[in-house]
Structure 1
């Protein structure tokens, strides 16, 4: 695999991270990091937060360095809002830590955070992503960060002064249409995220009437963070606060474990505590006053450490869907994507694009073209004709330093498998019959040869293809249409039927259906199509679709013919 600086973005970042780690602490384990909040479904946009450091850490590991990829689960964050589809009564838990909120109705998990972490953890395992998970609930409630919290409180005036440099800065205006047209969906969404601050610029930073306090306690009565610090004594570490529920309390911060640092202090504290060298951040962190920008100053001036290096990563969209938001619910997750595509393909989508490039993940018909592109890349690599960067992205997609990911033994075209599942409605015997006929010289003998790709295509058809677009082969011939045909069209059907037996394979039927109009025009079968010939072919195809499925379009005709079977094709075409 190419690993030069010119080869791909992953190699370039790996070079930088290794050099930076050696400068900071030679010989120590290199720490790459991600952070995820299980406040709702962890979607495919969030996956970029994980895939970027995973790919870099994996490249570092491939080179023989000691590296760890940590994922901080922000499960001690406050419950902000009830996602769509969850009973509105859950609003009574707003303000509590995510691990103190009951899981959604019917869940097998002990709390809200674990419910949304579980499918992400399973998806990461399927994707071959090795990581060390850190629960922030566990860290805070066990007192792991006690010294860091006390330091932040002692240095609260310094932190307040840093934050004050940005409090008066205006947020970027929302994206507007340009003179040459609107921003594309991904750019507009990224600009919107930056404008909103995505929980960064708009986050409660600890400023209250009594002064500035970077620590936010959870109330010991109602468990919410609807608290206001009213005083703090550096010498005794006594912290006084009131809560919106009416409770007032004084605790010793040297013993108190039910609260956390505000986000803009919490993040740089963790960078310093974990010794993070590489961590990417979303486009929202490029705005003035964002937690990444402010955190860079806080880590240097307060925690006396260095900020991680790492890129800003761009928006990830879904074909036909607007910007993803966990709080709004109904957003595709990595687990959803892995039901319709194999893990290497999903990894490839993230590996082939630089982090600052936005892209979309297809849940619509575009997934068929995507798989065609993937299969074409595999052929180019086998032939030695692929570019080095494409080889690198492919290599990172199909395996990790730990070894290769599972693959489909006989990877037939996704669109072919989808068509077969569509036509047979998933009937396994019928599916195997058609698969066996695709290539009689090298027949598929059992369905497992085509799995898991067959199962992914089946799931896509049953969940993503609208009922009105599903294919249903006619039970009886359209006698009215057959009787109305002129001599030329009758002749085209006769030529097709006469050639069925000799062309009963996917390639053979492809040659046959494209060849009939050529024969009628007195041309050789290998003639390149002229504009006139293409018109004749389209007319012939439309006739076949009408007679076979009752509409003028459908799945690829060779696949459709194989699926229907020769006897049924003869009946429906008047043979």
Structure 2
């Protein structure tokens, strides 16, 4: 939009990995340093009003940061556990703070988005659907995720690294700039040693805070109602799989309370019980279910971690987090977020982050999931069938407390139609401010624009073409060049990456029995059975092919044939009776061309089949 105000951001020249250059975060990826070129960035705040939820939250975060520590860098946070495929629900844990942090940076305010990789969490269960992983992996339950072997064939050393790397690659493509923090490195490197010793000294105070909520739970305190989930959709709980979903507070139900859990130095699991601790010497004694027991000096021991309900508020204080959203499971009285708010204030002397609740992400359609068979799809799965700006838009256009769906079925075509229609509204000045903001946040970040298709033809058209051609390049280019003869497509790169996403959708998500197979020979039996009206309709169509051989022309032709037969002008508005005649004509064409009564849009199908073959199959 030429009328948009811009702010200039100066960065270093980029070195991109192989492939199309999306917007990469700064840091190491693929062994190469990735930075950004100088870009002109739209100032979203100047294009929107109060309707934009990201701007409103950014206002609150900036004001809160100024209240706490004027002039200090603002920290927004996310937490992800690479315990298995990190799915599209977990992505909301990242996208909400990313969008807010990005808006703050657009305003020229220093802001950092951190992602804590909870890779020092215990391996809780063997997830279903991970290729090459079976029940034998249960022997690793209780070990840190970075101490569990990676799935067979993985180039990574551990389970945690394997699933973390997949998500990192998706965040690169999505343009998410962040600083990753490995909790394995933080704990085993001794970064939290003083915080651990402090928590152990205050263990009775911590236990007292936790006990308030244990008492509430025993008394039957009401919990908020879970969101209603559609029964016919696969649903993804946004907090599931993240560290934030764990409710461990270290309580054993009897004996002394300790907020620290060692990993056994013999079996490597956390099947341990602390039996004694001395504040003065920091001697800690523990036993393990494997039979091992020992006494260590906690001031030197880096083979364990704080229990989750203490770990999370400790990190808020350590990192100075001002904003971190949480999932719907954190609205109950004894949840980690609620209890953490008390612990961070009363024990660690800091403040709880601003943290709105975010809702479920639903999935419609999962025909063949490559990286998450048997489970819910990941960002990598989504990015195979849709461009990064579209996926970002799904998260940007809905407030955090609003649920939404990511479509893998035919609905993806409608989603793309909405996205393209919004682009046209923005171009002609009819879009609403909030919609402009969501589109801008989806297609750009504070560091510049994401990769976009130079000539974004309708996704449904590209899907139909690649369905018919099987992705064959020369035939695909021929068809696309004939869609609009006055403005032909000269090279497939003009319609990439959207074309590649549509092709991937057809080949992975459209069931085989719904794929388009054009007949090789005419259906002579059907042609011989036609009545005079049907024969005339085919003649009118064939006579008009030369004159109407374009997408718009064929659209006019196929809808116009029944009108002409009814004695109407080709541009006449259809009557109910005429619509019936049109449906009958369309069904006849589909049966003669592809052997069934439905298929891709007829104008696209006719262009794909080509004039010569159409005449061969329809000549009565």
Say whether the fold is shared (TM-score over 0.5): yes
Residue 219 (str. 1) matches residue 264 (str. 2):
yes
Which of 572, 576, 589 aligns to 1:531? It is 576
Deviation at 1:525, TM superposition (A): 1.2
1:82 pairs with 123, 126, 133, which one? 126
Distance across 1 between alignment mates of 2:532 and 2:157: 72
Pairwise CA distance, 1:109: 0.2
SS class of match (1:501): coil
1:27-55 superposed Cα distances (whole Å, 9 cap, x missing partner): 11100000000000011000000000000
2:431 to 380, 386, 390: 386
Deviates more, 1:410-419 or 1:83-92: 83-92
Q: In structure 2, what is the equivalent of residue 107 of structure 1?
A: 154
SS of 1:34's equivalent? strand
Which residue in the other structure is 1:70 paired with? Answer: 114
Q: What root-mean-square deviation, in Å, do the aligned CA atoms of Structure 1 and Structure 2 show?
A: 2.3
Indicate whether 1:257 and 2:302 are aligned.
yes
1:119 offset after TM fit, Å?
A: 1.1
CA deviation map 1:490-513 (0-9, x unaligned): 000000000000000000000000
Q: Which of these residues, 300, 317, 332, is aligned with residue 272 of structure 1?
A: 317
Q: Find the aligned partners of 1:521 and 1:556 in 2 and give their Cα distance.
A: 23
Q: Residue 519 of structure 1: SS of its match in structure 2? A: helix
Q: Spell out, residue by residue over 1:366-393, the C-alpha distance to the aligned partner (whole angstroms, 9 max, x if none).
A: 0000000000000000000000000000
CA distance in 2, matches of 1:518, 1:473: 27
Aligned equivalents of 2:418 and 2:195: distance in 1? 50
CA-to-partner distance for each residue in 1:105-163, whole Å, 9 max, x for gaps? Answer: 11110101110011111110111100000000000011111111111111111110111
Establish whether residue 133 from structure 1 lines up as the match of residue 193 from structure 2: no
Contact 1:518–1:525, Cα closer than 8 Å, also in 2: yes
**Pairing 1:406-417 to 2, within 5 Å after superposition:** 406-417=451-462
Counterpart pick for 1:454 among 459, 483, 499: 499
The aligned runs of 1:519-558 (5 Å cut-off) are: 519-558=564-603
Range 440-449 or range 203-212, more displaced: 203-212
Distance 1:121 1:151, change over 3 A: same
SS of the residue aligned with 1:95?
A: coil
Give the structure with the larger helix fraction. Answer: 1
The 8 Å contact of residues 239 and 326 in structure 2, kept in 1 or not, is answered as: no
User: Which is worse superposed, 118-127 or 82-91?
Assistant: 82-91
The answer to whether the Cα contact below 8 Å between 1:100 and 1:112 also exists between their aligned partners in 2 is yes
State how far apart, in whole Å, the 1-side matches of 2:374 and 2:147 are: 20
Residue 90 of structure 1 deviates from its aligned partner by 1.1
**Matched residue, 1:429:** 474
Q: Per-residue deviation at 1:210?
A: 3.1
**From 54, 59, 64, the counterpart of 1:10:** 54
Matched, 1:184 2:230: yes
Aligned-partner Cα distance in 2 for 1:391–1:270 = 36
Contact 1:103–1:115 (CA under 8 A) maintained in structure 2: yes
Residue number in structure 1 paired with 2:328: 283
SS in 2 for 1:134: strand
Q: Give CA-to-partner distance per residue, 1:69-90, whole Å, 9 cap, x none.
A: 0000000000011111312211
| 2:91/2:238 contact within 8 Å kept | no
Cα distance in 1, alignment partners of residues 301 and 199 from structure 2: 15
Q: Residue 34 of structure 1 corresponds to which residue in structure 2?
A: 78
Uncovered stretches (5+) of structure 2, i.e. residues with no partner = 1-43
TM-fit CA distance, 1:288:
1.5
Distance 1:573 1:410, change over 3 A: same
- Offset at residue 236 of structure 1 (A): 0.8
1:477 matched residue in structure 2:
522
SS of residue paired to 2:265: coil
1:560 counterpart residue number: 605
Q: Cα distance 1:329–1:110, how it changes in 2: closer, same or farther (>3 A)? A: farther
Partner of 2:98: 54
CA contact (8 A) 1:206 1:215 kept: no
CA distance in 2, matches of 1:320, 1:172: 35
Whole-angstrom CA distance in 2 between matches of 1:40 and 1:191: 14
- Aligned pairs (5 A) from 1:114-263: 114-168=161-215, 169=217, 170=220, 184-185=230-231, 199-201=245-247, 203-207=248-252, 209-263=254-308
Give the 3 Å change call, closer, same or farther, for CA 171–198 of structure 1 in structure 2.
farther
Q: Does 1:43 align with 2:43?
A: no
For 1:512, the equivalent position in structure 2 comes to 557
Q: What SS is found at the alignment partner of 1:270?
A: helix
Q: Among residues 416, 419, 431, which one is paired with 1:374 in the alignment?
A: 419
1:336 aligns with 2:381: yes
Contact 1:206–1:216 (CA under 8 A) maintained in structure 2: no
Please say if 1:363 is aligned against 2:403: no
- Deviation of 1:238 after TM superposition, in Å, equals 0.7
CA distance in structure 2 between the partners assigned to 1:464 and 1:226 by the alignment: 43
- Name the CA shift for 1:43/1:192 in 2 (closer, same or farther; >3 Å): closer
In structure 1, C-alpha distance between the alignment counterparts of 2:196 and 2:122, rounded to whole Å: 18
Aligned in 2, Cα 1:193/1:128: closer, same or farther, shift over 3 Å?
closer
Q: In 2, distance between residues paired with 1:5 and 1:388? A: 6
1:321 and 1:494, CA in 2 relative to 1: closer, same or farther beyond 3 A? closer
Alpha-carbon contact 2:90-2:239 (below 8 Å) kept: no
Query: Which runs of no fewer than 5 residues in structure 1 stay unpaired?
Result: none
Alpha-carbon separation, structure 1, partners of 2:170 and 2:527: 52
The answer to whether the 8 A contact 1:5-1:12 is kept is no
Distance 2:233 2:537 in 1: 50
CA–CA separation in structure 2 for the residues paired with 1:192 and 1:416: 33
Give the total of aligned pairs. 567
Q: 1:82 to 1:254 in 2, by over 3 A?
A: same
